[in-house]
Amino acid sequence: MSSAVPPFSARPHALYGLLACVRLTAFEQRAADAGRAASYEDKVVLAGLATGAFAQFELLRDRLIEAGADPYEAMRPYQDAISAFHERARPADAMEALTKVYVADSILADLYREAVEKADPGTRAVVHESLADSGHAEILTERLRAAAENDARLASRLGLWARRLVGEALSQAHALAEQNPEVGALFGEEGVAAMFGRIVDRHQARMRAVVLRD
């Protein structure tokens, strides 16, 4: 494949539909996890993350409407693969839910940001805004670091959970690319695995920041 702008640049509703589905599902998952959290501290962090994800969904929905697309039809092709990921990666408690946001959401965000580097500036700007930190990253990092430093057994469990999440995130990206040609074009000729390999260093740095090993 050439270095030309990928096909989705001319039809951004395909990309925006994917990310809108990602962000709406993230809102649903985080809101549900907040409802199950045992402590007010975790409820507040997860609720804040849910609010941020919904605001990003609204941004993408509005861009789809501006492009003349039905946002819900644009999201539909990606629903099964994204839902399957969340079914496979269902957290057992609030700490696993926070780790899931910290690990899987961050890896997938890095992947999508890298994938749109050849897109037009307007498309890149929307994608970066829809994946930006909603203001809770520092709180999330501090919460996970404190938990890991205070409980070695919990740190070990979360490290194993993080390793599983990396594999599940890669599987989700592969499934989306295989099931949707426009997503396959998004990842280009080199494919998901090559892009994934380049973002591992960022993932490992994030793990060190919260004193977890994957």
Q: Is the pLDDT of residue 1 over 60?
A: no
Which DSSP category does 133 fall into? -
Q: What is the pLDDT of residue 199?
A: 83
Q: By C-alpha distance, which of 110, 114, 123 is closest to 7?
A: 123
pLDDT tens digits, one per residue of 83-138: 999 999 999 999 999 999 999 988 888 888 888 877 788 888 988 999 888 777 78
Q: What is the pLDDT of residue 28?
A: 96
| Cα pseudo-dihedral 64, 68, 72, 73, rounded to 10 | -120
Answer for the pair 182, 78: CB distance below 8 angstroms, yes or no: no
Distance between CA atoms of 100 and 114, rounded to whole angstroms?
21
Distance between CA atoms of 147 and 29, rounded to whole angstroms?
22
Q: By C-alpha distance, which of 139, 51, 160 is closest to 96?
A: 160
pLDDT tens digits, one per residue of 144-191: 999 889 999 999 999 999 999 998 988 888 888 888 887 877 777 677
| Domains of the chain listed by start with CATH number | 8-209 (1.20.1260.10)
